[in-house]
Amino acid sequence: MTTFSNQQEGQQYIDPSETPSDVSQSETTNIQNSRTIVVTSGKGGVGKTTATANLGMSIARLGYRVALIDADIGLRNLDLLLGLENRILYTAMDILDGQCRLDQALIRDKRWKNLSLLSISKNRQRYNVTRKNMENLVKSIASLGYQFVLVDCPAGIDVGFINAISPAQEALIVTTPEITAIRDADRVAGLLEANGIYNVKLLVNRVRPDMIQRNDMMSVRDVQEMLGIPLLGAIPEDNHVIISTNRGEPLVLKKKLTLSGIAFENAARRLIGKQDYFIDLTTPYKGVFQKVQELFFG
């Protein structure tokens, strides 16, 4: 079997050019049973990394082995959202350079050991991995028994985007109900199809029901009809996202889930094939004080 890195007692990389007979039966089975999903958007700042962290954590909590790959070269943030920034000693670049093994670069989450994180590079590194390297990395992770590999794609549609989507069979496009984000999402959808990725789903983030009622924001249905992509979920705007990000704790780990946390969990269940309901975002959420006011004053 062809390998990338040092041969010391570590994990080996599977060369995709090798036939299945060159690989052990268990590794081949693991690769076939693994799903690689790229999370992309085109436009930056729409909540792509937040979605990756929360969906990955939710799937792990459902009992699956999940690996998250931060494919953003030089501007990685996924480790911060998971609270793992101080645990990263090696990256995929170190694996490719033969400085470490795959299991050394895969950082296990502190709370759920079936969730792991791999950063492609350290901050401020400008050079990129090749498509072949990305494909080999994902195959090697899948051979370890990870059932889901979620790739957090960099913003834009340059070479970093093309390399990040190369090992994926499925894609999740994250957008907000803004015309600029929707246009970029539409462009990305076309590029995904051009690269042979047809299983694409849509996640609409930062939805404001109050603005939708005032016709100041497009509805989730409007966004879906404009893009023509099956809807995976809609996430309402939530200030707790900022709090959870600063604490390095995904929103879905809160003891008392907010509406956004429930929406992420439901989207994760639909992603793994379980039917779950969509949260009603057609009417604004009303607090206790507002409900009391309406009761007395109409």
* Phi and psi based region of residue 98 (left: phi greater than 0; alpha: psi -120 to 50; beta: remaining): left
With H, G, I as helix, E, B as strand and everything else as coil, classify residue 185: helix
Q: Where are the beta strands (DSSP E) in 41-169?
A: 66-70, 107-108, 115-119, 148-152
- Give me the architecture of the 35-297 domain, per CATH: 3-Layer(aba) Sandwich (3.40)
Asked if 68 and 118 count as a contact pair (C-beta separation under 8 A), the reply is yes
| pLDDT tens-digit profile, the chain (298 residues) | 444 444 333 344 444 444 344 456 778 877 878 999 999 998 999 999 999 999 999 999 999 999 999 998 777 899 999 999 999 999 998 998 899 999 999 999 999 999 999 999 876 555 668 899 999 999 999 999 999 999 999 988 988 899 999 999 999 999 999 999 999 999 999 999 999 999 999 999 999 999 999 999 999 999 999 999 999 999 999 999 989 988 999 999 998 999 999 999 999 999 999 876 677 666 555 554 454 445 445 4
In whole angstroms, what separates CA 252 from the centre of its chain? 14
Sign for the CA dihedral angle at 209, 182, 169, 98 comes to negative
How far apart (Å, rounded) are the C-alpha atoms in residues 236 and 238?
6
- Please give the C-alpha separations between residue 128 and each of 56, 122, 131, 175, 220, in angstroms, as whole numbers: 24, 11, 9, 25, 35
CA dihedral 78, 84, 89, 94 (to 10 degrees): -30
Please count the other Cβ atoms lying within 10 Å of the Cβ belonging to residue 123: 14
- Please give the C-alpha separations between residue 132 and each of 13, 87, 119, 190, 248, in angstroms, as whole numbers: 12, 27, 17, 22, 32
The pLDDT tens digits of the residues spanning 20-55 come to 444 567 788 778 789 999 999 989 999 999 999 999
Q: Helices 25-33 and 131-143, interaxial angle, to 10°?
A: 110
Which amino acid would we find at residue 125? Answer: Q
Tell me which residue of 203, 220, 240, 190 sits closest to 283, measured CA to CA: 220
- What ranges in 62-130 are assigned the alpha helix state H? 78-81, 92-96, 102-105
